[in-house]
Amino acid sequence: MSEAAEHFDVAIVGGGPAGAAAAITLARSGAQVALCDKAYFPREKCCGDGLTTGALRRLEQLGVAVPGLAGFTRVDTLHVRSPSGRVAKVPLSSGGRRAAPGLRAGVVRRLDLDAALVASARKAGVRVLEGHGLEAIAPAEGGVAIEAGGRLLRAAHVVAADGAWSTVRKVLEPSSAPRHQSPADWHAYRAYAHGVSASAASELWVWFPSELLPGYAWSFPLAGGRANVGICLARGSGESGGELAERWRRFADSPLLASLLGNGATFEPVRSWPIPSALSLERLCALDGRVLFVGDAAGAADPFSGEGVAQALETGIAAAHAISDGRASHDAAARYRSAIAASLALEQRMARACRRVMARPLGARGAVRLTGANAWTLRYVGRWLYEDFPRTLVVAPHTWRRGVLSQPPPFSSVR
Ligand SMILES: Cc1cc2nc3c(=O)[nH]c(=O)nc-3n(C[C@H](O)[C@H](O)[C@H](O)COP(=O)(O)OP(=O)(O)OC[C@H]3O[C@@H](n4cnc5c(N)ncnc54)[C@H](O)[C@@H]3O)c2cc1C
């Protein structure tokens, strides 16, 4: 490493939702923060672009004006189709026929969302270094030294937010498997479709065809007559990359998809990416508690749904609080681990149980039937699915707070 180092309280590697959330939270607490990303924003991220209530709530907290972002599409109803073809229309807005104020779900391209998050970090005083890929990381006196884009940085803590293929992890744990090679992980395919039907451009669909279980397929509406279409597949089945890709081709050519998108739809090239969904408390921190892993680099995504934006934001914010509240280096790691053990680790355990139910057609059919059983189940199962309140409420009473079911939706001034 070269000699002239720049000093920060915290250096963050990766400017996706996890890294940006950590950066904004730390900068607001008065820390000197550097955020390095190998990319230049706006940059593509292979994703379904769907935002749950949990994600929207945290984005609001971080001051990101999501409803104003280019192409943002509000969603008030989820259409869920079981293996037998039964459809449950799950209302997320409580406003009956008219949309109620606030947002419980939405879709916005990650190209735009992540650029807005990084812009908010810059505005909060974070030193953003684009085009700075991590090259080296090592212990240094009083903290950690990293080299990124030929620049040497020193910091008391590093937040590793560099995604599913985390380079920080590879450098610090050269002999361990990447985070996304657990059987609990997902692999997902996504393509943007253009010229879609009016229904596809305005409705959000999730299908559970028997051949994809416990995975599923989706079509999420986007402004400009487009839709984000994809499938989420369980890893650990032993299938090769070619076999997984064949599953995408079969879905892309299926009458089910054509019936929603219409005959005139055209696809941009498909992309695929892993979704690590097996958090390990032991591997949450490294280098004597100086490095904290967040988001996909920590395996934080949901093992039931594959959603990971809310979890990336949650872990980024939790790591930032652990660092700014801790007095000594090991305090930060201990605080972070115990915050995650009490929240996300518990959520993942329950989500794995739900995934086992969805692995069989009978279980998936029962789940959709239960969701549509009556007005109450439609309303609360939908909000539970969309992370409006801790999902663990049903199994862990300590996660219950007064008023948790009646809190207003995020962005409650938006109609
Ligand atoms: C096809 C697909 C569909 C999905 N759909 C949804 C969805 O609809 N809703 C949802 O909530 N979740 C979804 N997810 C999951 C979600 O995309 C991820 O969980 C989320 O992006 C994780 O955020 P992150 O900040 O941890 O990582 P990322 O968003 O991957 O960000 C990592 C950042 O690190 C940078 N980086 C990487 N390596 C380096 C390096 N060496 N040096 C510096 N920077 C580096 C990258 O450039 C990137 O900016 C989907 C995932 C896939 C694959």
| Residue-wise pLDDT tens digits, 198-254 | 999 999 999 999 999 999 999 999 999 999 999 999 987 678 888 889 999 999 999
Examine the pLDDT at 181 and tell me if it is beyond 70: no
**CB 54 near ligand 1, within 6 Å:** no
Residue 309 CA: which ligand 1 atom is closest? 11
Determine the residue of 56, 135, 162, 190 to mutate for testing ligand 1's pocket, defined as the one with the most ligand atoms within 8 A of the Cβ atom.
162
The confidence band for 309, taking pLDDT boundaries of 50, 70 and 90, is very high
Please state the rounded mean pLDDT for residues 395-412. 77
Read off the tokens for 407: 């809190």
Residue 272 CA: which ligand 1 atom is closest? 1
Q: For residue 295, how far is its CA from the centre of ligand 1 (angstroms)?
A: 8
Full set of structural domains in the chain with CATH: 5-62+109-181+277-349 (3.50.50.60), 73-101+185-275 (3.30.9.10)
Which residues lie below 8 Å from residue 42, measured CB to CB, with a gap of 6+? 111, 112, 114, 115
Q: Is 3 helix (H, G, I), strand (E, B) or coil?
A: coil
Examine the pLDDT at 177 and tell me if it is beyond 70: no
Examine the pLDDT at 97 and tell me if it is beyond 60: no
**CB 185 near ligand 1, within 6 Å:** no
Please state the rounded mean pLDDT for residues 308-335. 91
Is the CB of residue 50 less than 8 Å from the CB of residue 72? no
**CB 391 near ligand 1, within 6 Å:** no
More confident residue, 4 or 285: 285
Residue 310 CA: which ligand 1 atom is closest? 11
The confidence band for 393, taking pLDDT boundaries of 50, 70 and 90, is confident
- Mean pLDDT over the full length of the chain: 91
Is the CB of residue 132 less than 8 Å from the CB of residue 37? yes
> Whose CA is closest to atom 4 on ligand 1?
47
Pairwise CA distance, residues 191 & 123, whole Å: 32
Parallel/antiparallel/unpaired status of strands 33-37 and 127-130: parallel
Determine the residue of 12, 40, 45 to mutate for testing ligand 1's pocket, defined as the one with the most ligand atoms within 8 A of the Cβ atom.
45
Read off the tokens for 402: 């007064």
The confidence band for 391, taking pLDDT boundaries of 50, 70 and 90, is confident
Examine the pLDDT at 99 and tell me if it is beyond 60: no
Residue 296 CA: which ligand 1 atom is closest? 26
**CB 309 near ligand 1, within 6 Å:** yes
**CB 384 near ligand 1, within 6 Å:** no
Position 179 scores a pLDDT of 52
pTM: 0.95
Q: Of the given ranges (12-26, 310-324, 325-339), which has the lowest mean pLDDT?
A: 325-339
Q: Is 376 helix (H, G, I), strand (E, B) or coil?
A: helix
Helix 344-358 / helix 329-342 crossing angle, nearest 10 deg: 40
Q: Is 172 helix (H, G, I), strand (E, B) or coil?
A: helix
Which residues lie below 8 Å from residue 356, measured CB to CB, with a gap of 6+? 214, 363
**CB 38 near ligand 1, within 6 Å:** yes
Determine the residue of 168, 309, 314 to mutate for testing ligand 1's pocket, defined as the one with the most ligand atoms within 8 A of the Cβ atom.
309
Pairwise CA distance, residues 101 & 94, whole Å: 9
**CB 46 near ligand 1, within 6 Å:** yes
pLDDT tens digits, residue range 131-167? Answer: 999 999 999 988 999 999 999 999 999 999 999 999 9
The confidence band for 328, taking pLDDT boundaries of 50, 70 and 90, is low
Please state the rounded mean pLDDT for residues 184-208. 95
Position 379 scores a pLDDT of 81
Cis ω for the linkage preceding 42 (within 30 of 0):
yes
Q: For residue 359, how far is its CA from the centre of ligand 1 (angstroms)?
A: 25
Pairwise CA distance, residues 303 & 391, whole Å: 13
Position of tokens 């930032």?
A: 320
- Going across the sheet that includes 106-107, the strands are 50-51, 106-107, 73-74
Helix 361-371 / helix 375-385 crossing angle, nearest 10 deg: 120
Is the CB of residue 276 less than 8 Å from the CB of residue 157? no
Please state the rounded mean pLDDT for residues 107-126. 98
H/E stretch holding 111 reads: helix 110-123
Q: For residue 162, how far is its CA from the centre of ligand 1 (angstroms)?
A: 8
Q: For residue 164, how far is its CA from the centre of ligand 1 (angstroms)?
A: 7
Position of tokens 């109620």?
A: 100
> Whose CA is closest to atom 21 on ligand 1?
309
Residue 168 CA: which ligand 1 atom is closest? 41
pLDDT tens digits, residue range 29-65? Answer: 999 999 999 999 999 999 999 999 999 999 999 999 9
Read off the tokens for 7: 């000093």
Which residues lie below 8 Å from residue 224, measured CB to CB, with a gap of 6+? 71, 194, 201
Position 295 scores a pLDDT of 98
Q: For residue 100, how far is its CA from the centre of ligand 1 (angstroms)?
A: 31
**CB 316 near ligand 1, within 6 Å:** no
Q: For residue 129, how far is its CA from the centre of ligand 1 (angstroms)?
A: 18
